[in-house]
Amino acid sequence: MRQRHATLVTLLAAALLAGCATPYGRARTALAEERYEEAASGFEEILTRHPDRLDALIGLGKARYKLGAFDDAITALTRAAARAPKSETAHLYLGLSHLRKGEDGPAEEHLKTLLALGPHRRLAAQTSRALELVRSDHLSKEMRAFIAASLEDETEWAREVRRAAEYAYPPPPFYWYRPFGPCFTTRSGHLVCY
């Protein structure tokens, strides 16, 4: 009897944990695992319920860009950039979508906006070099793809550096959270407020 009860509790806990995965989490995972069709449909599902959700708009734009549906990517990312004009990701992928379509004017505009937002210095340098190429003579389709891939790679590198810095330089051990008052983190990483 006790064995059956433990098995039932384990199965119930597993079912509850499996149900905890949100549609947004599944879509983000699909995007990270390069399952772009699944990611796009997941973000679209979220946007049917929450049409102005910024992270879903950007995720949909990235997924559509990766699928080569540049017009759809531009539509989603334009909405995202209108809601969050300081979004580096929205302007980057808007610029790349226009670049891949052969629309140099809008591509240059969004890449300049990205530079004005102050991205990581290596990404800024790479974006400046890309802008010089865009301003030069006619670019082939392959050259456009190469420029876009190099900017994406540099963006991913900057994101990894930012994540590594968060682990290397954790927040101070004692700080103030408005709703809770003064707090500190324990050695095990738990937050204790009093």
Question: Could you state, in chain order, the average pLDDT of each consecutive group of 10 residues for the chain (194 residues)?
Answer: 55 48 88 94 94 93 96 95 94 95 93 93 92 86 91 90 77 59 70 70
The per-residue pLDDT for 4 is 58
The per-residue pLDDT for 41 is 95
Phi, psi of 124 (to 5 degrees): -65, -45
Number of domains in the chain: 1
The per-residue pLDDT for 16 is 46
Determine the Cα–Cα distance for residues 136 and 114; give it in Å rounded to an integer.
20
Helices (H), 23-120: 23-32, 36-49, 54-67, 70-83, 88-101, 104-116
The per-residue pLDDT for 163 is 82
Boundaries of domain holding 126: 2-193
Q: What is the pTM of this model?
A: 0.74
Phi, psi of 129 (to 5 degrees): -65, -40
Nearest to 96 by CA among 35, 28, 147: 147
CATH number at residue 7: 1.25.40.10
